[in-house]
Amino acid sequence: MKLSAPIYHLKRRARALSREDDIPLNKALDRIARQEGFNSWSLLAANAAAATPSSELLARLKPGDLVLLGARPGHGKTMMGLKLIVDALKLGRRGMFFTLEYNETDIVSRFKIIGGDTETFDDRFEFDNSDAINADYIMARLASAQSGTVVVIDYLQILDHKRSSPELTVQVQALKAFARDTGLIIVFISQIDRSYDAAAKPCPDLGDVRLPNPLDLSLFDKSCFLNDGQVRIETSNRHPP
């Protein structure tokens, strides 16, 4: 179903409705979604995200790649990450999803929206939402993973959520070396800074990534940015050792 306006316009409409009718923003978003023919805003956002060209991105990834996938909230970055996994599973490969944002029920419902079924891929798909997630934990969980497995981490900034964890740069460097040595494809979903202005450029880029702590973004072999159905895929020109 085609939306009457880009998602960011619909979100502006919802914010205005929230102020005018003095209702919570989530209620306003759901009301706008119903006007577009969806039962809830989450279903509207998922439907929009399902149209993203994940197969094109997957075709450009190779074993050992470290990838950044970024977008502002509501523009489909999580669904894109999950669809990358579903596309890989349909090709007979394996996939794993690490997150502190979602539970297993959330993932099952999103799989169904994007044309997958966790039961069908039960032996090749794994989900982990442990509070212990950091680089060391991820590498331990993936110690026996097959080359070519697509690993999605939701999201980059969670590696910084515990003071006891190493610095973000140290963790990303470790995961980059791990991906290279094992042949895994590791995709980090990333937040985009609120200062990003869609009116100035159609898609975010590396300069718009939200970084509470310093990180050399050239560690990523490829990056993919989403905004209102537009997709920008880039390859790094410099790869650190």
97 and 81 in contact (C-beta within 8 Å)? yes
The conformational region for residue 205 under phi > 0 = left, psi -120 to 50 = alpha, else beta, is beta
Among 8-12, 90-94, 155-159, the minimum mean pLDDT is found in 8-12
> With respect to CATH, is domain 53-235 assigned 1.50.10.10?
no
What are the CB-based long-range contacts (under 8 Å, 24+) for 121-127?
Answer: 121/86, 121/89, 121/95, 124/89, 124/92, 124/93, 124/94, 124/95, 125/85, 125/89, 125/94, 125/95, 125/96, 125/97, 126/94, 126/95, 126/96, 126/97, 127/96, 127/97, 127/99
At position 155, the amino acid (one-letter code) is Y
20 and 241 in contact (C-beta within 8 Å)? no
Count of other CB atoms within 10 angstroms of residue 164: 5
How much is the average pLDDT of 184-188? Answer: 98
pLDDT at position 134: 95
**How is the chain split into domains, by residue range?**
7-49, 53-235
3 state DSSP class of 157: helix
Residue 160 has pLDDT above 50, yes or no: yes
Dist. CA 64–CA 185, nearest whole Å:
5
The more confident residue out of 116 and 226 is 226
Nearest C-alpha neighbor of 178 from the set 126, 150, 142: 142
Tell me if the pTM is above 0.75.
Answer: yes
Dist. CA 44–CA 109, nearest whole Å:
14
Residue 180 has pLDDT above 80, yes or no: yes
Dist. CA 109–CA 118, nearest whole Å:
9
pLDDT at position 81: 95
pLDDT at position 132: 93
Dist. CA 42–CA 174, nearest whole Å:
34
Mean pLDDT for the chain? Answer: 90
- 132-152: per-residue pLDDT in tens? 999 999 999 999 999 999 999
3 state DSSP class of 32: helix
State what percent of residues in the chain have pLDDT above 70.
95
3 state DSSP class of 189: strand
pLDDT at position 239: 46
